[in-house]
């Protein structure tokens, strides 16, 4: 019971520090293994002269502070005398301690190493090892020979090659050369033939020897294959520049290997040393072989560079030295493409006279090769993969604008930078952060130099004329100086050609060669301190290497070309011309054109027997005649003066004509040619559409008439042939709409039948609503937004001129203007239902117009018309009720389709643009009173 009272809780840690009751006390414990440590110094009996002789207390006793005294101190007020003497005698030359140590030799030269047996018994003999691996190579060869005799006398074990001969042969084999033991030749020059198939290395078995030899055999075969690649590339007359660049790099590396390994071969004494020397070159050769195999199918420079880029990018995380060599090869192979980009953008001297001579990312429009100013297009498929689509389009835009400067403003600093002592930085592929930062600095310096030259040229009075004059004076002055010193010039040239080269071409520094030597040499880490530098990923290097220079060039060229287009080439005038005539934005022109085409009150331009045409206010009278189409003479008489008189009486002409020509413009306007040679012309139509224009009552009767406009150079860079085709489609549709407006406005106001009255009112409402939507929402709103964009660009250009900067506020270029113009036309065509995917909706609208034309013809000829099922009206016997029912049904279907398009998901999304769905505005105009909703 008492024992339980003394038990502690085993699950608590309160008294855990207390020792066990079974543990003996320290005083009674005595170790049987070790005795206690004695700290009494004399008892230790140290054989040390410096050890204390007394007890530890006496050794550590401190002096008495009260009785302790220091020695006498010097007076601190008296300065110490200098211990240096002005005339110090030269000390005798001491002995060279390093030479003495060298003469004595190593410190451990007299030390002998013993085994335990020889240490204990100096006279004992060391027993020979029972392992053959610790014996000499002769023992191993003898054992193999003995084994071969026991197994039948295999002769292969007896063919041991001398080490010196084998080493020399393997060095030649590794370099792809023939030797005593290995020969290249036969049907396949890259195939090696061994003189001794069963020859082996001393001290190695036949299997291990052949495995060792096969490594050098692979190395030699790869060496010869690469050499064969370079020879075939050089021999080809149509080899790609990128393949030639790769062949040059391969040839440089192979030559470096031959030189380095040839020097190292004299110092090679063993097979392991030979293997170590060839290890890094073999790794580089394997990478070279994979690069050559990768670009085999490349047909253009861009394809070769792209293939090599992807191949190197896949092994970007490998050995640092090999990665640097691969990057340098990529930079070399990409140089032909970069030179082409430099020639196109103006950062490199242009050597290619015509970009159509070779297939590249720049192509000439079909049929424009023979023109004075060809039109270029961008082929994105020929741009390498490391150039993004956005950067590729910017490169093309920069070069296209530069062609405009060179052809129309050849005196500009961007067109002839060499004349202003401006040197553009060359496009080079860099891979280190230091080189990439240097690229940005070069781009900034180049941009400042060009901007300074432009500012000086702009600030000079009569800048253009004075610059041309200076150009002429400089040429004359230089020609005079050349004539005066021509003899001296010839003598200096002759001496230059006769003199010996100042430096051998073989000693010229080659970055790739030095890089390869650092990689394969044993002290590469010492010679290449920058190997450990952090380098950017390969995928970022194209952007960081090229874009700073190209972006600076693009900013300056874009800012310059925009100013010239707006101020020197009257771009706004030609845009307004398209709005005024192709889009029927001029009311005077629209009124005169409608009268000349449709008015029955004008004199007929058709030739009639017994009637003399006066030639004054004549028209085609479409809708009031039976013969169609008109002859060319009728067209000239009817449309004579419509364009010229409407243009010269418009505000557009008044605002564009020069001040000095305002007084006599009336005398010149009959002889002046309209901008862009604007005139009426005949549209070329296929045979299927030719049949439609033969009927004067058809909606398509005027489809042969078009406006011909040729944008003067260089405006074709913005108003392209594709844009003119869109203008032509819009003008053809507007001609049909203009005819419908004329027809409904000339319908009789009184009818005898209710169906005719309802038909006339609803037709007038339908055509008026559609025409208001077309001209206001479909054309005017989109064109106003486009003009706002042009106003914004011009305003920012003015602000830049005030501040004295270029390319800061305005980053747009000609491509931006062209894109904005094309998008404006696309939105107009979408609102006018002229896009290809809207063909069915347009067909419903045209069928509705056909019903109105049939009703108009019914009232004109007083004949009845009927309809065949699901076809347009034909001339038979029917009344206006049938036409009204047809018209009303077409309108209801058209409105229901438009109502469905209003909420249709994805309707209005064009390729590359977002087109606004404005069909709901047409619905509001058509059924604001909900008349057709039933």
- pLDDT tens digits, 331-369: 999 999 999 999 899 888 776 545 655 678 888 876 555
Check if the beta carbon of residue 825 is closer than 8 Å to that of residue 819.
no
CA distance 16 to 554: 83
Please report which helix (H) or strand (E) contains residue 173, including its range. Answer: helix 163-174
- Domain chopping of the chain, boundaries: 159-340, 570-607+616-660+672-729, 747-869+877-933
d(CA 457, CA 465): 10
CA distance 615 to 566: 41
Length of the chain, in residues? 934
Which range has the top average pLDDT, 203-207, 313-317, 599-603?
Answer: 599-603
- What was the pLDDT predicted at 871? 46
pLDDT one-digit tens code per residue, 363-408:
887 655 555 567 788 888 889 999 999 999 999 999 989 988 888 8
How sure is the predictor about 798, in pLDDT bands with cuts at 50, 70 and 90?
very high
pLDDT of 929 > 80? The answer is: no
- What is the average pLDDT across 922-932? 82
Q: Which residues of 267-276 are buried (b: 16+ CB within 10 A; e: fewer)?
A: ebeebeebee
873/791 Cα distance (integer angstroms):
49
Residue 573 zone, left/alpha/beta (φ > 0; ψ -120 to 50; rest) = alpha
Q: Please return the burial class of 679, using the count of CB atoms within 10 Å of its CB with bins 0-12, 13-18 and 19+.
A: middle
| Mean pLDDT on 441-464 | 77
Which is it for strands 603-604 and 618-619: parallel, antiparallel or unpaired? parallel
The most confident of the ranges 256-260, 659-663, 780-784 is 780-784
Q: Under DSSP, is residue 20 helix (H, G, I), strand (E, B) or coil?
A: coil
What is this structure's pTM?
0.70
Q: What b/e sequence results for 905-917 when a residue is b if at least 16 CB atoms lie within 10 Å of its CB, and e otherwise?
A: eeebeeeeeebeb
Q: Could you tell me which of 397, 814, 440, 783 has the C-alpha nearest to residue 584?
A: 783
Instruction: For residue 159, count other CB atoms closer than 10 A to its CB.
Output: 13
Q: What integer best gives the mean pLDDT of the chain?
A: 79
In angstroms, rounded to a whole number, what is the distance separating the alpha carbons of residues 226 and 255? Answer: 11
Average pLDDT over residues 7-24: 64
**What pLDDT digit, counting tens, does each position of 826-872 carry?**
999 999 999 988 999 999 999 999 999 999 888 765 544 444 444 44
Range among 80-84, 128-132, 848-852 rated most confident: 848-852
What pLDDT, on the 0 to 100 scale, is given for residue 782?
A: 95
Report the distance separating Cα 613 and Cα 724, nearest Å: 35
User: Is residue 728's pLDDT more than 70?
Assistant: yes
Backbone angles phi, psi at 619, to 5 degrees: -145, 170
Provide the CA 500 distance to its chain's centre, in angstroms: 45
Helix (H, G, I), strand (E, B) or coil at 458: helix
Cβ 815 vs Cβ 393: under 8 Å:
yes
The answer to whether 556 touches 447, Cβ cutoff 8 Å, is yes
Structure tokens at 139: 């023992």
Contact 198, 206 (CB under 8 A): yes
- Assess contact for 554 and 806: CB atoms under 8 A: no
Contact between 562 and 813 (Cβ < 8 Å): yes
> When comparing pLDDT for 79 and 111, which is higher?
111
Return the bridge partners of 682, or none: 705
Query: With left for phi above 0 and alpha for psi between -120 and 50, is residue 173 left, alpha or beta?
Result: alpha
CB atoms within 10 A of CB 712: 14
Q: Looking at the DSSP assignment, which residues form a beta bridge with residue 796?
A: none
Which residue is listed with tokens 């844009």? 723
* CA–CA separation, 517 and 281 (whole Å): 10
How much is the average pLDDT of 21-34? Answer: 54
Check the CA dihedral 646-651-655-659 and report its sign: positive
647-702 pLDDT per residue, tens: 988 888 888 775 335 434 444 544 467 899 999 999 888 888 888 888 888 999 99
The overall longest dimension of the chain from CA atoms, in Å, is: 162
Is the distance from CB of 233 to CB of 192 less than 8 angstroms?
no
- Residue 679 three-state SS: strand
pLDDT of residue 482: 41
pLDDT of residue 108: 67
How far, in Å, are 408, 569, 655 from residue 712 at the CA level?
A: 12, 9, 19
């Amino acid at each position: 019971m008492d024992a339980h009272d003394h038990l502690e809780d085993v699950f608590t840690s309160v008294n855990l520090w207390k020792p066990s009751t079974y543990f003996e006390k320290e005083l009674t414990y005595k170790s049987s293994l070790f005795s206690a440590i004695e700290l009494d110094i004399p008892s230790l009996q140290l054989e040390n002269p410096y050890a204390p002789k007394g007890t530890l207390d006496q050794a550590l006793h401190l002096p008495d502070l009260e009785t302790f005294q220091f020695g006498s101190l010097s007076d601190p007020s008296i300065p110490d005398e200098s211990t240096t003497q002005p005339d110090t005698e030269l000390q005798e030359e001491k002995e060279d301690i390093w030479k003495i140590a060298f003469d004595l030799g190593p410190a451990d030269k007299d030390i002998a190493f013993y085994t335990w047996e020889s240490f204990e018994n100096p006279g004992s003999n060391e027993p020979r090892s029972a392992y053959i691996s610790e014996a000499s190579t002769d023992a191993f060869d003898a054992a193999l020979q003995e084994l071969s005799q026991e197994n039948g006398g295999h002769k292969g074990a007896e063919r041991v090659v001398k080490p010196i001969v084998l080493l020399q042969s393997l060095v030649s084999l590794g370099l792809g050369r023939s030797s005593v033991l290995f020969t290249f030749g036969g049907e396949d020059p890259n195939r090696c033939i061994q003189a001794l198939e069963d020859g082996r290395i001393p001290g190695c078995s036949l299997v291990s020897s052949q495995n060792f030899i096969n490594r050098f055999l692979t190395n030699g075969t790869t060496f010869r294959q690469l050499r064969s690649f370079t020879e075939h590339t050089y021999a080809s007359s149509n080899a790609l520049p990128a393949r030639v660049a790769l062949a040059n790099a391969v040839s440089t590396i192979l030559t470096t290997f031959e030189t380095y390994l040839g020097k190292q071969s004299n110092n090679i004494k063993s097979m392991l040393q030979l293997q170590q020397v060839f290890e890094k070159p073999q790794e580089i050769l394997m990478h070279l072989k994979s690069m050559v195999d990768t670009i085999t199918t490349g047909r253009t420079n861009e394809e070769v560079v792209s293939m090599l880029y992807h191949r190197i990018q896949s092994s970007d995380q490998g050995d640092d030295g090999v990665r640097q060599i691969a990057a340098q090869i990529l930079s070399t192979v990409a140089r032909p493409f970069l030179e082409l980009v430099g020639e196109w953008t103006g950062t490199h001297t242009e050597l290619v006279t015509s970009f159509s001579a070779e297939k590249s990312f720049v192509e000439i429009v079909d049929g424009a090769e023979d023109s004075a100013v060809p039109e270029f297009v961008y082929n994105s498929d020929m741009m390498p993969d490391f150039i993004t689509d956005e950067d590729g389009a910017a490169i093309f835009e920069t070069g296209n604008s530069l062609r405009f400067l060179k052809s129309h403003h050849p005196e500009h600093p961007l067109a002839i930078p060499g004349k202003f002592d401006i040197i553009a930085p060359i496009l080079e592929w860099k891979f280190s952060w230091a080189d990439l930062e240097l690229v940005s600095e070069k781009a900034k310096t180049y941009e400042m130099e060009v901007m300074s030259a432009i500012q000086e040229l702009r600030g000079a009075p009569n800048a253009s004329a004075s610059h041309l004059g200076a150009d002429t004076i400089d040429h004359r002055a230089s020609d005079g100086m050349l004539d005066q010193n021509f003899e001296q010039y010839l003598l200096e040239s002759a001496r230059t050609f006769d003199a010996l080269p100042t430096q051998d071409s073989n000693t010229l520094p080659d970055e790739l060669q030095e890089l390869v030597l650092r990689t394969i040499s044993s002290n590469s880490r010492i010679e290449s301190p920058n190997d450990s530098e952090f380098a950017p990923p390969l995928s970022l290097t194209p952007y960081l290497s090229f874009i700073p220079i190209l972006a600076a060039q693009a900013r300056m060229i874009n800012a310059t070309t925009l100013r010239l287009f707006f101020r020197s080439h009257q771009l706004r005038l030609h845009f307004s011309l398209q709005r005024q005539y192709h889009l029927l934005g001029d009311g005077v022109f629209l009124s005169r054109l409608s009268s000349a085409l449709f008015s029955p009150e004008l004199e007929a331009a058709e030739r009639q027997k017994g009637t003399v045409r006066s030639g004054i206010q004549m028209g085609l009278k479409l809708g009031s005649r039976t013969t169609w189409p008109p002859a060319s003479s009728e067209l000239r008489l009817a449309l004579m003066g419509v364009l010229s008189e409407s243009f010269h009486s418009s505000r557009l002409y008044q605002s564009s004509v020069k001040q000095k020509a305002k007084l006599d413009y009336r005398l010149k306007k009959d002889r002046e040619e309209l901008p862009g040679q604007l005139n009426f012309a005949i549209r070329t139509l296929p045979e299927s559409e030719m049949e439609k224009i033969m009927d004067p009552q058809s909606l398509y009767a005027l489809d042969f008439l078009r406006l011909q406009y040729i944008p003067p150079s260089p405006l074709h860079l913005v108003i392209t042939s594709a844009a003119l085709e869109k203008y032509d489609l819009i003008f053809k549709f507007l001609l049909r709409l203009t005819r419908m407006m004329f027809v409904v406005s000339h319908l009789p106001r009184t009818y005898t039948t209710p169906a005719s009255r309802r038909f006339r009112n609803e037709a007038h409402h339908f055509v008026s609503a559609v025409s208001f939507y077309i001209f206001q929402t479909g054309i005017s709103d989109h064109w106003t937004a486009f003009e706002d964009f042009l106003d914004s660009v011009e305003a920012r250009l003015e602000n830049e001129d005030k501040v004295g900067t270029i390319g800061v506020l305005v980053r747009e270029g000609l491509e931006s203007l062209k894109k904005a113009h094309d998008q404006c036309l696309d939105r107009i065509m979408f609102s006018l239902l002229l896009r290809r995917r809207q063909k069915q909706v347009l067909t419903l609208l045209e069928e509705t117009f056909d019903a109105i034309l049939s009703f108009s013809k019914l009232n004109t000829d007083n004949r009845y018309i009927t309809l065949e099922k699901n076809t347009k009206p034909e001339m038979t016997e029917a009344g206006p009720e049938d036409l009204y029912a047809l018209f009303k049904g077409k309108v209801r279907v058209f409105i229901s389709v438009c109502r469905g398009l209003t909420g249709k998901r994805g309707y209005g999304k064009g390729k590359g643009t977002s087109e606004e769905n404005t069909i709901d505005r047409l619905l509001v105009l058509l059924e604001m009173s909900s008349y057709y909703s039933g």
